[in-house]
Structure 1
Amino acid sequence: MVDVNAIPNWPVVRVGLGEQGALTVDGEVTAVEAGQDARSTAVERAARLARQLGRPVRVEAEESDGTLFRLIVDEDGGVAESGPAVPPRTNRRLPFRRRGDTDAEPPTTAVVPPPPTNEQALDVESITRLVRVPAPAAANAPVPAAVPPRPTPEQAAVLVRVRRLAEDGTPGLGIALLQELEAADAWQASAIRDVRAYLTLADGRPAAAMHLYLRTAAELADLRGDADRRAEVDRWARTILDCAHHCWLQVRAPDEAHSLGAQLVKAYDTLGLAQAPAARAARRRQKDMRLRFLTAVSDLADH
């Protein structure tokens, strides 16, 4: 049986089941082959991604009446429920959605609550959930922090603005704000960069997002020497690499994808995750890409 809580929240395959067998997957209209139905086609698409990642993935399937089903799909196409069905709602607020846009909800790394009604009523706890795992305490801290690091009121206000910019369809402006926050506060630099990487992916730049995730992973590798924080760092590292892996699957240029794949495999090794299913899947894909890359180079040389 699949342990639902062990499946990362990223990525989420968004499936829309329309009238008369219409199907969208992650916002794209998807053809249904003869002899298949929309549901089996959607499951196969999710299973293909699961095989690429080397682990089950989350799926949110919305029926034509608006009912939302949360599922887990494994590499073999097995399906399990990850929660109760959500009945249709009117005017459902979707995070990271352009005003007036009716497309399917894009993937998110965390559940982002609606912004507070005013800056004075800021809920810092809700803002910190933008960062999947809080940054570990500074290496020179005399005593381990009793609670996770929290943003200052000024930083939290910036994160509120970032969320609003993302919801308005302008993630690029949010990225600029995060760059300022990251430079001003090294304490949470890695955590802020994690959020910036997600916004960069939402901005349509998977390779740049992957670079940010890999940079964060390299910093986490330096923190693994502290035995008191290793478990926390390892949990965060697995999430970061899962996001980097997903970005890698979106990179279309063969030479760039091959280069980034080598960095991803190295990051898995450095963080002690070389035998993880996702790492093995990455090595298989990288080997296949290398063969295709060398074949393409050889063909060019022959001409």
Structure 2
Amino acid sequence: MIYVSTGGFRGRPADAVAAELLSAGVKSIELSGCEYSETLLEDLRLLVPELEFQLHNYFPPPADPFVLNLGSLDKQVGERSIAHVEQAIQWCVELGTSRYSFHAGFLLDPKVDELGRRIPARSLFNRDESIEAFISRVSQLAEIAERAGVALMIENNVLSANNAKEFASNPLLMCDPEESQNIMRRLPDSVTQLIDVAHLKVSANSLGFKPESMFDVCSERITGYHLSDNNGLEDSNKPFADDAWFWRYLKPDVGYYSVEVYDCAPEVLVQQVDLVHSKLQKISQSL
């Protein structure tokens, strides 16, 4: 299934964005970001007969914004992050969805307005301790999700060129294939990976590894993809083209592909969905 992310439609509740995408012919939507609304769950339920939803990361949007971080060593942030994921799992059940995906943890707790931008350098959590906290929390949540019939997927983080320079190190978890593999091996088999190809392109450039190595090293746990493109320096969620670098590395049969292209008209997003359909069909035929 090929989904379109609501993440690029800022300042609007997700049900309004979903209705607009539906009117353009989109039937599968990944709910991500958007604005808080007291009636959001009820409003989305009304669209379930016409749409298939999946939930991603900072969804449902809370009334009081915060940065979801399952790797935080701050007790309050950790507890709030667990509560957010538990609520997301419950919304999956309410909306009849089968997956919830979220970002790997951070070695710091960014402010809401720092996400997607240069984060000023500050002291970091101990990497090993943050990894242990992340694994413990995800394992706990995996049991809850499995009982609810919901699959959890972890998305690789993106280390921009600016943040790599600012910190002179990597303040994020699961940007590279080796750490991703090591963490995934310690998590329940029910937890899989969502590979964001745009995140991968940027992180590979910042950390000096070949992006295609992620697909090889982590192959058996990859069950979905986020698709967009960029200049290799920052995650800008630009449209992808027929000759994009990542096509040859995608599995054609995982069942979860999300067009995470921002600041485009719905008609452009439909064209992106059509391109994904075409490319996946060609990949299947070549196997």
Larger radius of gyration: 1
- What is the TM-score of this pair, normalised by structure 1? 0.36
Q: Which has the higher helix share?
A: 1
- What is the TM-score of this pair, normalised by structure 2? 0.37
